[in-house]
A and B are shown apart, each in its own frame.
Chain A
Amino acid sequence: MLEARGLGYGYPGRPVGRGLDLALGAGEVLCVLGPNGGGKTTLFRTLLGLLPAQAGSILLDGQALEAMSRGDVARRVGYVPQGHAAQFAFTVREAVLMGRTSHISLFAAPGAADRDAAEHAIQALGIGELAERVVTELSGGERQLTMIARALAQGARALVLDEPTASLDFGNQVRVLREIRRLAAEGYAVVFSTHDPGQAFLAASRVLLLAQGGAQRMGTPDEVITGENLRAVYGVEVRVAAVDGARACLPVL
């Protein structure tokens, strides 16, 4: 669904990462970990076609991303940005409806099918009671769910979420992770980034660990999230422990 071959990402004259191979199919969840400035957002912007790839190629449903229009990309990959900065008081329903843009011709307004799709996405995330609230007055968690609903309304089967749990309280972090697992179970391919390596055990089928300087490690959570690897990337001691069969990361202070 979402594939990268020998991908080099970054800016002209300032490469951030290179040689990344990635193939994500339906129902798979990739968790991207790395320190601040480690290139997570740069990678995501490249995967979404917002930054040109410096090397290699990206394939969406087997087709080269660089040959696609913005609309073609939008119908295949949905993006949930980090901390959507709402400037204007759109309602949740209006904001989710904007996800339909790539299905609506340039001069047209959303039609009945678009309204249905938006409504469906709102119901799927259980935020029906928020539909008439304005996004500027939502809590961080509610806004994050609205942005996920907008990405679903887009009709894309691959989703890229940039630090979806950042600045959320504990309950909302769990709710967002649960949503990610549920989407994967429905056949979406999901990529998300986080600062909490423990989340990879909870929600991801694969992990990409990025280090400063372009080093990268990919594999299952059990393979990649080890005390040794986390120390190499973050520079702190971490114990990976099992609690009732589930793994968790415990920093050593």
Chain B
Amino acid sequence: MTRHPRALAYALALAVLLVLTALAFAVGRFPLDFGDLAALTANKLLGAGYAVPPTTETVVMQVRGPRILAALLVGAALAAAGAAYQGMFRNPLVSPDLLGVSAGAALGAVLGIFFSQSVLVIQLGAFTGGLLAVAVVYAVGASVRRHDPILALILAGIVIGTLFGSMIGLLKYLADPYNQLPAITFWLLGSLAAVAPADLALAAPFALAGLVPLYLLRWRMNLLSLADDEARSLGVPVGRLRIAVVCAATLMTAAAVAISGIIGWVGLLIPHAARLLIGPEFSRLLPLSMVLGAAFLLAVDTLSRTIAPIEVPPGVLTALIGTPFFLWLFATARRSWQ
């Protein structure tokens, strides 16, 4: 691939993202006029004084704005974390759910709902649950020294994830079927419907804190996709670098899960699609994955609130899109990484 198609891929992805964002503001229960939207944008960004209907301003600033920002943030964060996990585990079919992040976050949130805590506590529960799960998985993986470290981590992730899943099952079984169970189910399927500006303010710094190390290590990340001995012989202290990247990617995943609940597939599909477009080199893969992830989740969320009279959980939509894509990858893409 030459430089030209690479620039083209970025430009196209950004253009798609912009168009989707404009569309997402315009469509919905209360359709908005593109002219009014443009005028409002000019007012807010350039201080222009166009007349805009007050309802338009309310819908944009209070309702759709936070939700769209949340979709962009969550999509970009999940895709960035997925790109990091896939490179690090040398497997393009790996996703942020792998190390038990999602299961841990879900258990934390479900505990919060079960004990009728505030939204803030539920989010903090999701966040600490996700980090805790990865810490446990990492400790288990590191203590079985006789195995391939990557395989040990993945197996530990599966086992811990199953354990957390059964605990969630117990809590659902015990939960009040009228007040708590719907909230738990809603959260487990993922949703951006209830995102408030305060939620964004809480999650964004954590997502950013995870992104900064990934960005700084963007070239060195490539070395983690080699066999451990190869990377070491090229001068990389593999163990330390892997811990740093796991922490950063987990922080991003947990921040995303804390505001949106569990939305699967984004972290698996998007980095893979980006890799097909631009190759595996991480310093190019990371930004494209983030743009595509943001665009994908925004499209899914916009669909989820417009295609039916009730909201379709975005986690259901991503699974409907993701499953056939995954099967197609599984069946055809072998040669692209072997």
Contact = CB atoms under 8 A, between A and B. Distances in A.
B227 A81 contact: yes
Given A50-B232, A107-B217, A98 B223 contact: yes
A45 B227 CA distance: 13
Interface string A156-175: 00000000000000000000
B280 A90 contact: yes
B336 A136 contact: yes
Contact of B230 (A84, A88, A106, A109): A84
A250 to B, nearest CB: 35
A98 to B, nearest CB: 6
Contact of A79 (B90, B219, B222, B233): B233
Contacts of B217: 106-107
A88 B275 contact: yes
Nearest to B283: A109
Nearest to B229: A50
Contacts of B280: 88-90
A73 B235 contact: yes
A136 B338 contact: yes
A70 B237 contact: yes
Nearest to A51: B229
Contacts of A48: 229, 232-233
A74 B234 contact: yes
Interface in A130-165: 132, 134, 136-137, 150, 154
A158 B237 CA distance: 21
A110 B1 contact: no
Interface in A161-198: none
A241 interface: no
Interface in B243-286: 275, 279-281, 283
Nearest to B222: A98
Contact of A109 (B218, B223, B279, B337): B218
B237 A88 contact: no
A73 B235 CA distance: 7
A87 B90 contact: yes
A104 interface: yes
Given A85-B227, A109-B283, A94 B233 contact: no
Interface in B290-338: 335-338
A88 B225 contact: yes
B234 A154 contact: yes
B219 to A, nearest CB: 4
Contacts of A45: 229
A104 B232 contact: no
A236 B281 CA distance: 48
A140 to B, nearest CB: 14
Interface string B209-225: 00000001111101101
A206 interface: no
Given A87-B337, A136-B336, A110 B234 contact: no
B27 interface: no
Tell which of B87, B90, B233, B279 has the most Cβ of chain A within 10 Å.
B233
A3 to B, nearest CB: 18
Contacts of A110: 219
A99 B225 contact: no
A81 B230 contact: yes
Interface in B1-20: 1-2
Interface centre among B226, B227, B234 (most CB of A within 10 A): B234
Interface in B188-244: 216-220, 222-223, 225-227, 229-230, 232-237
A136 B218 contact: no
A94 B279 CA distance: 10
A42 to B, nearest CB: 12
A88 B337 contact: yes
B77 to A, nearest CB: 21
A99 B234 contact: yes
Contacts of A71: 235
Given A87-B338, A136-B337, A102 B235 contact: yes
A108 interface: yes
A87 B92 CA distance: 9
Contacts of A108: 219
B236 A90 contact: no
Interface in B62-103: 87, 90-92
B78 to A, nearest CB: 20
Contacts of B92: 87-88
16 contacts: A45-B229, A50-B232, A73-B235, A86-B338, A87-B91, A87-B92, A88-B225, A88-B280, A89-B279, A90-B279, A94-B222, A99-B234, A106-B217, A107-B217, A132-B1, A154-B234
Interface of B: 1-2, 87, 90-92, 216-220, 222-223, 225-227, 229-230, 232-237, 275, 279-281, 283, 335-338
Which 4 interchain pairs have the tightest Cβ spacing?
A102-B235, A74-B235, A88-B280, A79-B233
